[in-house]
Amino acid sequence: MKKFLAVVMALAMVFSFAACGGKKGGHADNELYVGAIGAATGDYAVYGLAVKYGAEIAVDEINAAGGVNGMKIVFDFQDSQGDPESAKSAYGKLMDWGMDISIGTVMSGEMASVTAESANDDMFMISPSASNDTCISASSNAFRVCFYDSFQGTAAADYVKATLSGKKVAVFYQSDNDYSIGLYDAFKAQAAVNGTEIVAEQSFTSDEKDFTTQINTLADSKAEVVFLPIYAAEASMFLSQAKNGTDNAVFAEGVYFFGCDGLDGILEVVDNVSTANNVVMLTPFAASSTDADVVSFVEAYKAKTGGTVPNQFAADGYDAVYVIKAALEAMGVSKSSEVSGAKVAEAMTSLSYSGVTGDMTWTADGNTQKLATAVIYNDGVDTEFGK
């Protein structure tokens, strides 16, 4: 008899867990658990912490205004150090915690490592900044706020054609990094379509720290624009070595160093802000904008971080939380137990949202449609440099 009762109780527990939709953590229905994954420590913390702080500002604002249809957002950011394997572990911790919905991961490799599992869990994810073309393709419930890489590369080539027409272009990219390769390939293909000549191409790998040979080759090509489809840390090393402490010490005066969202945060990693002079970056966010919502966000971010100016990653993190709010409110969801990844994904394709990174809509493949703006840095200040 005891054995029979034990079996009955075990079966009851199984059905109880099944009824919870796979969530391992429990919380009140008037709480919405939102999770995120990214580097809070390590080389890529400049991106992860920006997303974390931006998202936290949005959470605080939303909760102060009454939450999402009455649901209070509870936010948890798990540190992955930018490592895909660590991101898997972080995702598991968030599921154990009881995550209802996710702003995904910060880096593309992290996103690719968790999207298949998130699809199995019917988890909706909207990454602020995972830009690799295919990193969200394993789940129809995965979306993003940022541009995807091939779009950025193509847009960058079109920008050079429209704004820097007639200038000689060279490229410096990282040959063992998917982000860099994706941008480089798209830029090169579109440059050929536009009739833009690439006069020199140089590459490096993650274990290289001395770029002297590549820099001299690029400078010898008399390039007037150097396309840098790389991250801020590597760009900082390149620029420091190229300029040797002064503006354009190796390159001719007035050369533009042009990149995409990976360059965001460059001012935080260079030894001197003047090292980033004449760096042009394609971005959906400019902290110098006079738009009222942007000004308000910049002020809130500075107050939270002790004066740091927010980068695009911070703005994307901020917008990602507000997009979740907009989608759930459009669906009329007022209980966390009603959140379905597939249903949120379906709602996204008819959603229009205006945020600090622009006016956005989404297609069924999870990609956003919005305008890009170029900004140029000089003496630590960014100003708009065309759309």
Q: How far, in Å, CA of 13 to CA of 32, rounded? A: 24
Model confidence at 249, pLDDT cuts 50, 70, 90, reads low
**CA neighbours closer than 13 Å in the CB half-sphere of residue 224:** 10
Looking at residue 268, its pLDDT comes to: 85
The correct CATH number of 150-283 out of 3.40.50.1220, 3.20.20.70, 3.40.50.2300, 3.40.50.11030 is: 3.40.50.2300
Q: What is the 3-state secondary structure (H, E, C) of the chain?
A: CHHHHHHHHHHHHHHHHHHCCCCCCCCCCCEEEEEEEECCCCCCHHHHHHHHHHHHHHHHHHHHCCCECCEEEEEEEEECCCCHHHHHHHHHHHHHHCCCEEEEECCHHHHHHHHHHHHHCCCCEEECCCCCCCCCCCCCCEEECCCCHHHHHHHHHHHHHHHCCCCCEEEEEECCCHHHHHHHHHHHHHHHHHCCCEEEEEEECCCCCCCHHHHHHHHHCCCCEEECCCCHHHHHHHHHHHHCCCCCCCCCCCCEEEECHHHCCHHHHCCCHHHHCCEEEEECCCCCCCCHHHHHHHHHHHHHHCCCCCCHHHHHHHHHHHHHHHHHHHHCCCCHHHCCHHHHHHHHCCCEEEECCEEEEECCCCCEECCCEEEEEECCEEEECCC
Average pLDDT over residues 300-317: 95
**CA neighbours closer than 13 Å in the CB half-sphere of residue 16:** 9
Looking at residue 387, its pLDDT comes to: 61
**Torsions phi, psi of 147, nearest 5?**
-70, 155
Domain residue ranges in the chain? 30-147+292-369, 150-283
Report the DSSP pairing between strands 142-144 and 125-127.
parallel
Between 267 and 73, name the one with better pLDDT.
Answer: 73
Structure tokens at 321: 């939380």
Average pLDDT over residues 42-52: 92
Residue 139 has pLDDT above 50, yes or no: yes
Mean pLDDT for all residues in the chain: 90
> Is 183 in contact with 155 (CB distance < 8 Å)?
no
- Worst-scoring range by mean pLDDT, 16-25, 196-205, 260-269, 334-343? 16-25
Between 140 and 249, name the one with better pLDDT.
Answer: 140
pTM of the model: 0.84
Residue 89 has pLDDT above 90, yes or no: yes
Structure tokens at 118: 């998130």
Looking at residue 7, its pLDDT comes to: 36
Same topology between domain 30-147+292-369 and domain 150-283: yes
- CATH classification (class only), 30-147+292-369: alpha beta
Q: How far, in Å, CA of 331 to CA of 348, rounded? A: 10
Residue 246 has pLDDT above 90, yes or no: no
